[in-house]
Amino acid sequence: MGADSYLALSNDGFQYELVDGVVVLSPSPTPKHQSVLAEISYQIMSHLKTHPLGSVFPEVDVRLSDEIVYRPELVFIRKDRVAANWRRILQPPDMVVEIVSPDSLRFDAETKRGDYERFGVTEFWLIDPDREDLRFHRLEQATYKLIEAPGAFFASEAVPGFVLNLDEVRRSFRPL
């Protein structure tokens, strides 16, 4: 199946992705997963309210090619590119966040990471709540470089001026 056919499917309430032309069903996210997503979304959206540099979209289809449509947990698109991607995201986002589950770790860390790199996503964040692991990849000369985030903060280059509070994200890994 091609991306146009995939994107024309009616919404049946389930989450799918198009991987190498094959429609793949994803399980519903867990409360833990959604807690992490909410925290990261809140931090970025708070920054964007005072610094309107672009838009952040949770759980939206991202068409990378005719055979690849992923639905990352969160994407950021710069202001000058939002209008061209308003109806559908047809260009690689500036930043992608994937929050992994035990079943998706290898796919997210290898396959999706490779595709995001190949299609030019500037930053790729891989968040693993179960292992309490946060990895940040930045595109440098068409290759992802793992960016160390020692301490309590990570400064994004894809979202100018934004600094992610890692302690708050780690707090979202556990129930109150």
Assign residue 75 the CATH number of its domain: 3.90.1570.10
Question: Is residue 5, in this structure, part of any structural domain at all?
Answer: no
Question: Is residue 41, in this structure, part of any structural domain at all?
Answer: yes
What's the mean pLDDT in 14-42? 87
Residue 130 has pLDDT above 90, yes or no: yes
Q: How many domains does the chain have?
A: 1
Tokens 């693993």, residue? 128
Domain that holds residue 142: 29-171
Q: Are 9 and 2 in contact (CB under 8 A)?
A: no
Mean pLDDT of the chain: 93
What's the one-letter identity of residue 73?
Answer: E
**Cα(123)–Cα(93) distance, rounded to whole angstroms?**
9
- What does pTM read for this prediction? 0.92
Specify the pLDDT at position 6: 81
Residue 12 has pLDDT above 80, yes or no: no
Q: Are 97 and 77 in contact (CB under 8 A)?
A: no
Specify the pLDDT at position 167: 96
Question: Is residue 104, in this structure, part of any structural domain at all?
Answer: yes
Grouping H, G, I as helix, E, B as strand and the rest as coil, residue 111 is helix
By CB atoms closer than 10 A (0-12, 13-18, 19+), residue 64 is buried
Specify the pLDDT at position 99: 96
What is the dihedral angle through the alpha carbons of 81, 110, 15, 170, rounded to the nearest 10 degrees? -80
**Cα(68)–Cα(130) distance, rounded to whole angstroms?**
27
When pLDDT is cut at 50, 70 and 90, the band that residue 19 belongs to is confident
- Tell me which residue of 171, 96, 106 sits closest to 132, measured CA to CA: 171
Question: Is residue 20, in this structure, part of any structural domain at all?
Answer: no
Q: What is the pLDDT of residues 56-91, one digit of tens each?
A: 999 999 999 999 999 999 999 999 999 999 999 999
End-to-end CA distance of the chain: 43
Question: Is residue 11, in this structure, part of any structural domain at all?
Answer: no
